[in-house]
Amino acid sequence: MTTLQAHSADELRALAETAGRELEEAEPLDILRWAADTFGKRFCVTSSMEDAVVAHLASRVMPGVDVVFLDTGYHFPETLGTRDAVAAVMDVNVITLTPRQTVAEQDAEYGPRLHDRDPDLCCALRKVKPLQEGLAGYSAWATGLRRDESPTRANTPVVGWDEKRRKVKVSPIARWTQDDVDRYVAEHGVITNLLLMDGYPSIGCAPCTRRVAEGEDARAGRWAGRGKTECGLHG
Ligand code: SF4
């Protein structure tokens, strides 16, 4: 895979808009192949380590692809274990990003349990800023966003323009359902987070994630009771 020359922001935006239209009906592998061919090493996958579906898909068209994981310092051990398993067995290059401050340093500056008092600030410090910095060397990033996950994700384009980071944002499984994901995981033996089988259909930081009850929305367990649905990475 060659390292392609960096595009200007205007070029990236035009590429994203055209590809979003042309690839709307395309299969995830074809969307990822377009991203790999267009951006080469300036393309990465981001993963919350809920599962390794998009990382697995991407590794099929771009072996050794960078898979970026944000270690907020608040993850469940199962999530870190998933990250380690992905790094050990898959043909990908796992890159772990960390916030500038440890949890202890943040507690000292802002007081303990900032996630309970001001989750938006906590997410900004521990997720949004580190990702912004970590993606600096890339022109395009892939996510596992799906339209069926929540109303806020219902219009997710398969390829779109991420104005906040001024990068191309690729969501190759945007049109997939949970059944599609389950089928892919079963067919390919994809690594998944053990918590998925323990009542957590959506997994984030431990203090801000609870199990969901039968019939609840998959993301109902994220920031439950706090009027917050997204961490700011995708808004
Ligand atoms: Fe902090 Fe919760 Fe956001 Fe994690 S999900 S960064 S603990 S507010």
Look up the CATH number of the domain holding residue 114.
3.40.50.620
| Pocket of ligand 1, beta carbon within 6 A | 72, 74, 115, 119, 122-123, 126-127, 204-205, 207-208, 231
Average pLDDT of span 92-102: 98
User: Considering the domain boundaries, does residue 227 fall inside one?
Assistant: no
According to the annotation, is 44 in a ligand binding site?
no
Of ligand 1's listed atoms, the one at least distance from the Cα of 208 is: 2
Structure tokens belonging to residue 139: 């022109």
Q: Where are the alpha helices (DSSP H) in 65-191?
A: 77-89, 103-110, 114-117, 119-123, 129-134, 178-188
- The residue whose C-alpha atom lies closest to atom 3 belonging to ligand 1 is 123
Average pLDDT of span 74-99: 98
Is the model's pLDDT at 82 over the cut of 50? yes
Q: For all residues of the chain together, what is the average pLDDT?
A: 93
User: Considering the domain boundaries, does residue 235 fall inside one?
Assistant: no
User: Considering the domain boundaries, does residue 220 fall inside one?
Assistant: no
Is the model's pLDDT at 170 over the cut of 70? yes
User: Considering the domain boundaries, does residue 233 fall inside one?
Assistant: no
**For a substitution probing ligand 1, which of 49, 70, 71, 74 has the most ligand atoms within 8 Å of its CB?**
74
Give me the sheet containing 92-97, strands edge to edge.
92-97, 65-70, 43-46, 140-142, 167-170, 159-162
Domain that includes residue 110, residue range: 9-208
Is the model's pLDDT at 230 over the cut of 90? no
- Could you tell me the pLDDT band of residue 4, with boundaries at 50, 70 and 90? low
- Could you tell me the pLDDT band of residue 5, with boundaries at 50, 70 and 90? low
Q: Catalytic one among 231, 232, 233, 234?
A: 231
Is the model's pLDDT at 103 over the cut of 70? yes
User: Considering the domain boundaries, does residue 140 fall inside one?
Assistant: yes
User: Considering the domain boundaries, does residue 22 fall inside one?
Assistant: yes
State the distance from the centre of ligand 1 to the C-alpha of 102, rounded, in angstroms: 13
Residue 52 has what pLDDT? 97
Average pLDDT of span 91-114: 98
The span from the CA of 67 to the CA of 80, in Å, is 14
User: Considering the domain boundaries, does residue 142 fall inside one?
Assistant: yes
Average pLDDT of span 91-118: 97
Average pLDDT of span 159-170: 95
Number of domains in the chain: 1
State the distance from the centre of ligand 1 to the C-alpha of 125, rounded, in angstroms: 9
Percentage of the chain modeled with pLDDT above 70? 96
Residue 181 has what pLDDT? 97
State the distance from the centre of ligand 1 to the C-alpha of 129, rounded, in angstroms: 13
Structure tokens belonging to residue 88: 């050990």
User: Considering the domain boundaries, does residue 216 fall inside one?
Assistant: no
Residue 2 has what pLDDT? 47
The span from the CA of 23 to the CA of 77, in Å, is 37
Q: Tell me whether residue 231 is one of the annotated catalytic residues.
A: yes
Tens digit of each residue's pLDDT (9 = 90 or more) over 120-140: 999 999 999 999 999 999 999
- Could you tell me the pLDDT band of residue 41, with boundaries at 50, 70 and 90? very high
Average pLDDT of span 2-12: 78
